A and B are shown apart, each in its own frame.
Chain A
Amino acid sequence: MQRKTPGSSKCNGRIVALADLPIGRRGEVVSLALEGFSRLRLLDLGLVPGTEVKAVRRSPANDPVAFNIRGAMIALRNDDGRRIMVQYQEQEQEMT
C-alpha cells in the first residue's frame, strides 16, 4: 500500500492529538482511537492514516475546530479530536 509523503521531511515529527494541532499547522494522521460509527464516519471523510490535515480555525468558544481535510472544511469537536493522533513538524516552514 502506498503511503503519502508529506511536504516536509518526516524526522523530528512530534505526535500530538488533532485537537492540539495549532491553528495554521499541518499534521499527518497517525492513528484513530475511535471505533464503530464514529470511525466509519471519519473514514468516509477521508481521515485515514497518512492523510494530511490542516487546522484552520477555532470556533468562538475554542470548540469545535475546523480542519482542512482533503480540500473540504470539516469541524470536529475536541472530544473527538483528542482521539485522533497526528504527526507534525514543529519547525515547519510556511507552506502555501
Chain B
Amino acid sequence: MGISHYPPDVDALRGSFIPGGLGAGQALVALAGNPNTGKSTVFNALTGLHQHTGNWPGKTVTQSRGTYSHRNRTIAIVDLPGTYSLLSNSPEELIARDFLCFAAPDATVVVVDASCLERNLNLVFQVMEITPRVVVCVNLVDEAMRKGISVDLDGLSYELGVPVVATVARTGKGLERLKDILDDLISGRIKLSPRYVVYDDDIEDRLAGLQANLHDVPLGHLNPRWVALRLLDGDAALIEGIVRRLGLYGSAAETGSRTNMQPDNLDGLQETMERAGEVRGREGRWGQGENSFRDRIVSAIYNRAESITRKVVRAGNAKGRDLGSLVDDILTSRIFGYPAMLALFGALLWITISGANVPSELLARVLFALQDRLMDMAARLQIPGWLQGVAILGTYRSVAWVVSVMLPPMAIFFPLFTLLEDLGYLPRVAFNLDSLFRKAGAHGKQALTMSMGFGCNAAGVIACRIIESPRERLIAILTNNFVPCNGRFPTLITLASLLASGEFALDHGSFLASGIVVGMVVLGIAVTLATSWALAKTILRGVPSFFALELPPYRRPQVIKTIVRSVMDRTLFVLLRAVTVAAPAGAVTWALANTSVGGISILKGLASLLDFPGRAMGLDGFILAAFILGLPANEIVMPIMLMGYLSSGTMLELGGLDSLGGILAHNDWTWLTALNMMLFSLLHYPCGTTLMTIHKETSSLKWTFLSAAIPTCIGVSLCLVVTGGARLLGLV
C-alpha cells in the first residue's frame, strides 16, 4: 500500500489483523452486511480454510478474520458483526463502526440480499458515509431470481456511485469478479463518485456550517461530512475516539511524540463541537418522535433506498405463493406448529439412536478388544500393576467408553441439527415458542439460546450475548442448563434405550427410546419456562424488552459442506474436549477405586457415604459419586459410575448394551433407577466448563452459584418425589 499516511494508532490497529502486520502489497478489507444475507458464506468462500475466530479485543462479540491472495496481493479480510444499521449503539454496531472509521479498511464489501435490497441499502448508505471505498455485493441472486426478482446492477452502481457485483456465494458464482473489483479499487483503478443521501434542508444547512468549521481540523482519512453528522447527533463517544485514535488531543501534548499537531486545528474541532452542541441545544435535543434527528436521518435514507429500489429492482409477476410460505403455513400453524416441532425433534433423535446403535457396538468391541491386547502386552513387558491399572483400566478404558458411546450419536445428531439450523428452522422455533417465553417474562431470543444449549450449554451461555437487556440475559444464562447438552444426550439415550429394550421389563424399540428422550427434553423446556417465570417474578423482576425476530426465507443447506463443517467444528471439538477430560478423570477414578484406606477403597468409601441420600433419590452411592466426580464434564459420569461398579466386584466384560444392562442389573438397578438417573442428569449443576463460562459472562460469584444451586435443588426434589411416589404406590 505504499507509505502509510495514518496516525500510529490507526496503523497499529490495521496491522493487528494479519499475522506479522500489514506489509507492502497487502491490504485490509472489511465485510459488512445485514444478518441473513449470506455474509459468512461470502467470507468462507473468500478465505476458505485461511481463517481465524476469536473475540474483539475487550468485547464479547465474535470476530472472524482471514486472508486470501489475488493478483499477487494478500488481502486480510475482517468479517464485521451482522447489523441492520450503525446508529443504534449496540455493541455489534459500535464494533463495526469503530472498525470502519479507525482501522481505515482499504475497501469495504457490503453484502446485501438481492430479494431485500431496500432494507439492505440502509446499511450501504451508512457505510458509504464513513468510507466511500465500498463495493456492494448483491448476494443470493439465484434465490431472488426464483422469486421473480431481478436487480439492474449497472443502474444500482450508477445510483450509489460505487461498484456493484452480483454473487451466489454458496456456488462461488461472482466471487472472482468481486476479487478483481476489490483489487481495482484498492490499487486506485476505479474512480469512486459516491452519491450520499441528501437530508432535509434544515439538516443540510447545519451540516454545511459545521463542515466549514471542520475545514482546518486534521481528520485524516475520515469523511468530514460524516463527522459533522455525528457531531450533530451528539455522538460524544465517537468524538472522544477520534481525539484519542487520531492523536488530536491530550496524550500527544504530554508526551510530545506526535509533533505534527497544530494547536489551531485542535481548537477548530473543539469549536466545532461546541457549535454542534449549540445547534442541538437550541432545539431541545432536536424535538421528539418523528421530528427527532434520528427519525429524519433514517427516513431520508429509506426514502432514497425506496426510490432507488423502484428504479433498479424488477419484481416479476408473483407466481402464487412460494414454497417456503406454504411450509411456514404448516410449521407455524396453530394446529400443527407445536406437534411438528416435537415430531421433527423426535425424528432427529430416532435417526440418531437407531443409526448410532450398530456403529457404537462395533466401536466398543474394537476398542475393548484392543484393551485386552494392551493388557497382555503390558503383562509381557512386566509393567507394574498399578501403572497398568492407571494407564489402561483407568485412562484408556474411560476414553474408549467416551469415544464408543459419544462419537456415533454425535456424528449423526450434530450434522442433522446443523442442517435444520442452516435451513432456517430455528427462528421458526423461536417464533412458535415466543408467547411462552413472553408469559414467563423472558426474552424471545431465549428460545434461540436454549436451542444452542442442545449442542453445548457453555456455547448456549455465550450465545445469550445476543440478548441486550441484562435482566433477560441473566434469566437465559441461569436456565440454559435445563436443556440436555450433547455430553448428557449419550447418557439419556443409553438409559432410554435400556428402558425401552426390555432390560428392565418395559416395551421394545428405539421408537420408544426416542419418545422417552423427547419427553425428557420437553420436561427440560417446561422447567426452563417455569424457572424463568419464577426468576422474573422474584429476583429478576422487570418488563420484557423490545423484541424483533427476523424469519429469513428457508434456504437449501449446502449438505456436504454442512456435514463436514459440523463434524469438524462441533463433533470433533466436543469429542476432543470430552476425551481430554475423560483421560485424566479415568486415571483419577481408577486410583480412587484402587487405593485403600482402612481396607476399603476411597471410591467405595465415598459411595457408601453417599448411599443414603442416593437411595432416597432412587439412585445409589456410586451414581451420586459419579455425578460429583463428573463435575468437569457430563460425558464422564457414566464411565465413572461403571468403573465404580466394576471395581467393587466381579470384573465384567464391557461390550454393547446387553452387558451394560447386565452390570446395572447386577447392581440392583430397576427402571426407577434409570428414570431417576435421567432426571438427575437433566436437572443438576452445569459442568465445570459451563460454570466457568457463566462466571466469565456474569462476572459474579452469586449468579454462578445460583446457576448451580437452582437446577440441583430442582433435580434432587424431583427425584425424591418420584422415588417416594413410586415406592408409595408399590410400583417397584
Chain A interface residues (CB < 8 Å from chain B)? 1-2, 4, 31-32, 34-35, 37-46, 48-51, 57-64, 66, 69-77, 79-80, 96
Cβ of B302 and Cβ of A48 under 8 Å apart? yes
Q: A41-B88, A71-B118 are in contact. Are A66 and B438 (CB under 8 A)?
A: no
Q: How far is the CA of A76 from the CA of B118 in the complex (A)?
A: 20
Instruction: Give the nearest-CB partner of A65 in chain B.
Output: B431
Name the A residues within 8 Å of B329 (CB-CB): 57
Q: How far is the CA of A70 from the CA of B302 in the complex (A)?
A: 10
Q: Is B667 close to A, CB under 8 A? A: no
Q: Is B116 close to A, CB under 8 A? A: yes
Cβ of A59 and Cβ of B434 under 8 Å apart? yes
Q: A64-B435, A71-B116 are in contact. Are A41 and B548 (CB under 8 A)?
A: yes
**What 10 A-B pairs are tightest by C-beta distance, nearest first?**
A61-B435, A38-B546, A60-B337, A44-B85, A71-B116, A44-B84, A73-B551, A43-B298, A75-B549, A70-B119
8 Å CB contact of B549 from A1, A49, A74: A74
Cβ of A64 and Cβ of B549 under 8 Å apart? yes
Cβ of A64 and Cβ of B444 under 8 Å apart? yes
- Taking CB atoms and an 8 Å cut-off, the chain B residues in 583-597 that contact chain A are none
Nearest chain B CB to A62 CB, angstrom units: 7
Cβ of B547 and Cβ of A73 under 8 Å apart? no
- Taking CB atoms and an 8 Å cut-off, the chain B residues in 69-118 that contact chain A are 84-85, 87-89, 115-118
Q: A51-B302, A59-B435 are in contact. Are A40 and B119 (CB under 8 A)?
A: no
Stretch at the interface among B287-295, B374-382, B682-690: B287-295
Q: How far is the CA of A58 from the CA of B469 in the complex (A)?
A: 25
Name the A residues within 8 Å of B303 (CB-CB): 1-2, 4, 50
Cβ of B294 and Cβ of A80 under 8 Å apart? no
Cβ of B548 and Cβ of A76 under 8 Å apart? yes
8 Å CB contact of B295 from A48, A74, A96: A48
Instruction: Give the nearest-CB partner of A60 in chain B.
Output: B337
Nearest chain B CB to A89 CB, angstrom units: 19
Q: How far is the CA of A91 from the CA of B641 in the complex (A)?
A: 70
14 more A-B contacts (CB under 8 A) besides A38-B546, A41-B88, A71-B117?
A40-B88, A41-B546, A42-B548, A43-B87, A46-B305, A59-B432, A60-B333, A61-B436, A66-B551, A71-B118, A74-B549, A75-B548, A75-B551, A76-B547
Contact with A along B535-579 (1 / 0, CB 8 A): 000000000111111111100000000000000000000000000
Cβ of A96 and Cβ of B550 under 8 Å apart? no
8 Å CB contact of B317 from A38, A75, A96: A96
8 Å CB contact of B551 from A1, A51, A74: A74
Name the B residues within 8 Å of A63 (CB-CB): 434-435, 438
Nearest chain B CB to A30 CB, angstrom units: 10
Q: A2-B303, A46-B122, A46-B302 are in contact. Are A73 and B550 (CB under 8 A)?
A: yes
Name the B residues within 8 Å of A69 (CB-CB): 119
Q: Max chain B CB contacts within 10 Å: which of A42, A45, A58? A: A45
Cβ of A45 and Cβ of B332 under 8 Å apart? no
Name the B residues within 8 Å of A51 (CB-CB): 302
Cβ of A77 and Cβ of B544 under 8 Å apart? yes
Cβ of A37 and Cβ of B84 under 8 Å apart? no
Q: How far is the CA of A1 from the CA of B300 in the complex (A)?
A: 7
Nearest chain A CB to B32 CB, angstrom units: 14
Q: A70-B119, A75-B548 are in contact. Are A1 and B431 (CB under 8 A)?
A: no
Q: Max chain B CB contacts within 10 Å: which of A38, A39, A63, A71? A: A71
Nearest chain B CB to A18 CB, angstrom units: 12
20 A-B pairs with C-beta separation under 8 A: A1-B300, A31-B289, A32-B290, A37-B468, A42-B548, A43-B85, A46-B122, A49-B295, A58-B334, A60-B333, A61-B436, A63-B438, A70-B116, A71-B118, A71-B119, A74-B548, A76-B548, A77-B438, A77-B547, A96-B318
Cβ of B318 and Cβ of A62 under 8 Å apart? no
Q: Is B503 close to A, CB under 8 A? A: no
Name the A residues within 8 Å of B115 (CB-CB): 71
Q: A1-B300, A2-B303, A45-B119 are in contact. Are A59 and B332 (CB under 8 A)?
A: yes
Q: Is B51 close to A, CB under 8 A? A: no
Nearest chain B CB to A16 CB, angstrom units: 19
Q: How far is the CA of A51 from the CA of B303 in the complex (A)?
A: 9
Name the B residues within 8 Å of A72 (CB-CB): 116, 119, 550
Q: Is B62 close to A, CB under 8 A? A: no
Cβ of B434 and Cβ of A45 under 8 Å apart? no
Q: How far is the CA of A48 from the CA of B212 in the complex (A)?
A: 31
Name the B residues within 8 Å of A96 (CB-CB): 317-318
Cβ of B87 and Cβ of A40 under 8 Å apart? yes
Q: Max chain B CB contacts within 10 Å: which of A48, A49, A63? A: A48
Q: Is B200 close to A, CB under 8 A? A: yes
Q: A48-B299, A60-B333, A74-B551 are in contact. Are A40 and B328 (CB under 8 A)?
A: no
Instruction: Give the nearest-CB partner of B341 in chain A.
Output: A60
Q: Is B307 close to A, CB under 8 A? A: yes
Q: How far is the CA of A61 from the CA of B606 in the complex (A)?
A: 50
Name the A residues within 8 Å of B553 (CB-CB): 73
Q: How far is the CA of A58 from the CA of B551 in the complex (A)?
A: 12
Name the B residues within 8 Å of A44 (CB-CB): 84-85, 87-88, 122, 298
Name the B residues within 8 Å of A34 (CB-CB): 546
Instruction: Give the nearest-CB partner of A66 in chain B.
Output: B551
Q: How far is the CA of A46 from the CA of B87 in the complex (A)?
A: 13
Contact with A along B325-345 (1 / 0, CB 8 A): 000110011100110000000
Name the B residues within 8 Å of A59 (CB-CB): 332, 337, 431-432, 434-435
Q: Is B306 close to A, CB under 8 A? A: yes
Nearest chain A CB to B119 CB, angstrom units: 4
Q: How far is the CA of A70 from the CA of B112 in the complex (A)?
A: 13
Cβ of B299 and Cβ of A1 under 8 Å apart? yes
Instruction: Give the nearest-CB partner of B296 in chain A.
Output: A1
Q: How far is the CA of A50 from the CA of B527 in the complex (A)?
A: 44
Name the A residues within 8 Å of B332 (CB-CB): 57, 59-60
Name the A residues within 8 Å of B299 (CB-CB): 1, 48-50
Q: How far is the CA of A64 from the CA of B434 in the complex (A)?
A: 7
Q: How far is the CA of A73 from the CA of B328 in the complex (A)?
A: 12
Nearest chain A CB to B506 CB, angstrom units: 33
Q: A51-B302, A72-B116, A96-B318 are in contact. Are A57 and B289 (CB under 8 A)?
A: no
Q: Max chain B CB contacts within 10 Å: which of A1, A41, A51, A59? A: A59
Q: How far is the CA of A32 from the CA of B303 in the complex (A)?
A: 17
Name the B residues within 8 Å of A50 (CB-CB): 299, 303
8 Å CB contact of A64 from B302, B337, B547: B547
Q: How far is the CA of A38 from the CA of B547 in the complex (A)?
A: 8
Q: A44-B85, A63-B434, A64-B435 are in contact. Are A80 and B333 (CB under 8 A)?
A: no
Instruction: Give the nearest-CB partner of B546 in chain A.
Output: A38
Q: How far is the CA of A61 from the CA of B339 in the complex (A)?
A: 13
Q: A43-B295, A45-B84, A59-B337 are in contact. Are A66 and B431 (CB under 8 A)?
A: yes
Cβ of B431 and Cβ of A75 under 8 Å apart? yes
Q: How far is the CA of A39 from the CA of B289 in the complex (A)?
A: 9
Name the B residues within 8 Å of A1 (CB-CB): 200, 296, 299-300, 303
Nearest chain A CB to B667 CB, angstrom units: 45
Name the A residues within 8 Å of B200 (CB-CB): 1
